[in-house]
Amino acid sequence: MCENSSKLVAWLDRELPEQEWSGIEMHLARCAECRSAVSAYQEISREFLFCYEAAMVRPAPRRRPRRLWIPAVAGLAAAILVAAVLWPRPAQRLSLRLPTPSPAPAMAFVRPVAHVAVHARPKPIRTQWVIVEPSVEVELPAEALFPPGAVPAGVSYIADVRPQL
């Protein structure tokens, strides 16, 4: 390879100092290899320039349109998933199965029990299940059933809620 081959492009672009440029020009007159190389560099420079000029003529390159539906679908799916997980569920209805009401129990007057305490406030209803084959009795304080003073203190009523067979 010729020793001047590294300066041929600069010679072509007139980027060499005047004296050096003239020296290369004289060299080209007698070096066929360098002349051929300069011819090739000129041609490729012309083609490059041609493409460069064409860039202004043709419409500008457009970016590929983004596939916007992909993130949209993904976002929608994620939103549905989150909503399904976090959506407040309706309170679970507990079915209270009560026994069918039986006819009104018969009430019996019983003697007051000596140890029954007298309360100023109505005594809460206590249910007392007595195993009597097959009976169910509920003790009802008189204060809960009658106005104060209508019934002697300490009187209770026992309701027999034994199902009638």
State which of positions 62-81 bind another protein (CB under 8 A).
Answer: 62-63
For 144, residues 6+ apart whose C-beta sits below 8 A from its C-beta are 122, 123, 125
Q: Are 35 and 22 in contact (CB under 8 A)?
A: no
**Spatial distance between the Cα atoms of 152 and 145, rounded to a whole number of angstroms:** 12
Q: How many residues bind to another protein according to rule CB under 8 A?
A: 29
Amino acid at 69: W
CB 121 within 8 A of CB 140: no
Q: Which is nearer to another protein, 40 or 76 (CB)?
A: 40
Q: Is 47 in the site for another protein (CB under 8 A)?
A: yes
CB of 74 to another protein, least distance (A): 22
**Contact stretch for another protein (CB under 8 A) within 47-55, 109-117, 145-153, 154-162:** 47-55
Residue closer to another protein (CB basis): 37 or 155: 37
Cα 131 to chain centroid distance, Å, stands at 57
Q: What is the contact surface with another protein in residues (CB under 8 A)? A: 6, 8-10, 13, 15, 37, 40-41, 43-45, 47-63
